Amino acid sequence: MPDLSRRKLLLAGGALGAAGALNAISPAHAWTWSSAGSIAATDTVRDPRYVWDDLTDPVIADLLDRGGVPGVNALLKPWVYNWQSPSWLLPSDVRRVVNEARRLPDWADLGKLDVAYRFATKRGLYLGVLYGMNSGMMSAAIPREARAVYWSKGGADIRDRIAKTAKLGYDIGDFHAYRPDGKMIVTCVKTRLTHSAVRHLLPQSPYWMQVADEPEKRPISQFDILITWHSLASSVMQKLDEWGVEIPQNERDAYLHLWQVTAHMLGVIDEFIPSSWEEAELQRQQVLVPILARTDEGVKLADMLVNLGQYIDFSLVTQPLFEAVTRYMLGDEVTDMLELTRRPVLEATVEEVWPVFIKLREAGLPLPGAPALYTAFEELIRKFALFYLEPFQQINIDIPTHNNANHPY
């Protein structure tokens, strides 16, 4: 696959994936998954559709109401690395929740997280493609996520939205993501604060209120975050298995652990976090598989994503390839929901070439120096993608103060 097309795929990798956490389920589907299969192993059946974030939500809502967000954003901007402490100049209520939210769970295993990084170095290209073509584009077919993203601030500037979610996708796969020299704890906390702001702001949008069917007209429940989690972690592993990628058990376990820790750091209660891949698949079949559907907002978002290449040369070449690879990843049913153009010749080529590419790349892994070469090349693509999205500046996740004011239709 040409380098340019890989660049386009990576740009979508952060599009609506790791920090998009805004999904839902049809009211007709009752929550039946027992937390006996969770990290907490508490054996309850509490419905996560009616659980939000008791730690951060009231504080951020009050901060928005008193006009304090710009000042807090300015104080949080220099906070980048896990080892740093947030500014002592933060309002006391904000500093309290930030310090509480930045604590790793007691069950986090840094050794396993290091193994997860080694897994990512060997399969980084697959992960980037899947986060974008599978997970990111899938999220546009999740009705509540599509509507929430479209009518919130992110829908008004999709490039900025993608840059911020791409940062989460980049930081989770970075070396020492959750150790002191990494950035993932900070990125998760800032994302969590953003989610709280969106919960407070979206109900003030008459456009979102017309289409919203969330309980209490309140977006981003624990259930919603779980669906995004499954569109990433569970769906990625399912695809890798489908492609016949042989992954050692310790690496499979470590990749799951990486996403378990991430769910916790994004505010998901431990009783909702699956304890194994088997439990994750049971939960995925209930919460993700039945809910994919078309919305006007999802079609608009998908169009924005496939046209992201308008800012770079040769976009007329990469857009058809982007659509063809997305159709290969998601299948006709979902991509038809998103109204992606059918590309019969390219689709047939991708279907023929991708399995061969996988086999050749996997065959090369045992060769001396191959993993390091793969990693260096993919790291170059990732850094270029982040530079393209936010050239000459550090990507910063800040707390929004308004919804989508453009009202495109």
**Residue 139 pLDDT level (bands cut at 50, 70, 90):** confident
Average pLDDT over residues 29-56: 91
**Residue 310 pLDDT level (bands cut at 50, 70, 90):** low
Whether residue 166 is predicted with pLDDT greater than 90 in this model: the reply is no
Phi, psi of 134 (to 5 degrees): -95, -60
SS3 state of residue 108: coil
139, 145 Cβ separation under 8 angstroms: yes
Whether residue 140 is predicted with pLDDT greater than 60 in this model: the reply is yes
pLDDT for the residue 238: 93
Phi, psi of 267 (to 5 degrees): 100, 5
**Residue 203 pLDDT level (bands cut at 50, 70, 90):** very high
Whether residue 167 is predicted with pLDDT greater than 80 in this model: the reply is no
pLDDT for the residue 368: 52
Average pLDDT over residues 193-203: 97
pLDDT for the residue 365: 58
Phi-psi region of 273 (alpha: psi -120 to 50; beta: other; left: phi over 0): beta
Higher pLDDT, 389 or 37: 37
Q: State the DSSP string of 184-251.
A: HHHHHHHHHHHHHHHHHHGGG-HHHHHH--SGGG----HHHHHHHHIIIIIHHHHHHHHTT----HHH
Token code pair at residue 110: 């840094």
Higher pLDDT, 41 or 386: 41
pLDDT for the residue 198: 96
Please state, as a whole number, how many other Cβ atoms lie within 10 Å of the Cβ of residue 392: 5
Whether residue 186 is predicted with pLDDT greater than 80 in this model: the reply is yes
Whether residue 18 is predicted with pLDDT greater than 70 in this model: the reply is no
Kindly report, residue by residue over 312-322, the tens digit of the pLDDT: 444 444 678 88
Please state, as a whole number, how many other Cβ atoms lie within 10 Å of the Cβ of residue 348: 12
Average pLDDT over residues 257-275: 97
Distance CA(92)–CA(95), nearest Å, equals 5
**Residue 364 pLDDT level (bands cut at 50, 70, 90):** low
pLDDT for the residue 121: 84
200, 60 Cβ separation under 8 angstroms: yes
Q: How far, in Å, are 10, 61, 304, 379 from residue 313 at the CA level?
A: 16, 43, 17, 22
Average pLDDT, the chain: 83
Kindly report, residue by residue over 224-235, the tens digit of the pLDDT: 999 999 999 999
Token code pair at residue 76: 């949080």
Average pLDDT over residues 377-387: 46
Average pLDDT over residues 355-378: 62
Please state the pTM of the whole predicted model.
Answer: 0.85
pLDDT for the residue 69: 98
SS3 state of residue 161: helix
Whether residue 378 is predicted with pLDDT greater than 90 in this model: the reply is no
Nearest CA among 260, 231, 200 for reference residue 16: 231
Question: What percent of the chain stands above pLDDT 90?
Answer: 57
Average pLDDT over residues 233-243: 93
pLDDT for the residue 306: 80
